[in-house]
Each structure stands twice: as structure tokens, then as C-alpha cells.
Amino acid sequence: MQNILKITKAASDETRLRILKLLTKGELCVCHITAGLKLAPSTVSKHLSILEAAGLIETRKLGRWVHCKLPSSPKGEPRAALRWLLSALGRP
């Protein structure tokens, strides 16, 4: 039940949905997400942490930069939620 709550919270925000839409094109540096959304880095960071906690994105550090992507093999509720969200966002 806790996973479902995290996922629905993550999916209930327009900015987080916009981040997921950006990531459908592939991995992005947080700096590119910030620039694309025209938001403060701290705001984007908060949104990314919510998406990551829900299992909807993965992050990796490369030097001093953090890169985000959709998970390669999500399991359980995150997998079903991602499938539904991405189809709703227009990804095939």
C-alpha cells in the first residue's frame, strides 16, 4: 500500500509529469531538466526525489552531475504505473 501512495503522490503533480515526459526521450542531466522546465534547481531536485522514491525514475552520479532516466526494469506497482503514465503522456 505504501508504494501505491508514493506513486500516486508522484503522479499527482504537473511538474513531475513534465519531468517524466522529458525522460521519455532518454537519460538527461538534472541541469538539462532544470533548464527545460525553467525552474530553480532546488525545486527540480525535490520533484526528482519524489519520483525516485516512488520508483518512477533512476538517478546516477557522473562526476559532479546527476543524470536521470526512466527505470530499465521497474517491478510491481511502479512498472504498472509507468506503463499507464507513459501511455497517457503519449509515449508508444
pTM assigned to the model: 0.84
Residues of the domain holding 14: 2-88
Q: How many CB atoms lie within 10 A of CB 66?
A: 16
Domain at 84, CATH number: 1.10.10.10
Split into its structural domains, the chain has a count of 1
Give pLDDT tens digits along the chain (92 positions): 567 788 888 989 999 999 999 998 999 999 999 999 999 999 999 999 999 998 899 999 999 999 999 988 767 777 777 778 778 777 65
Query: Are the C-beta atoms of residues 31 and 20 closer than 8 Å to each other?
Result: no
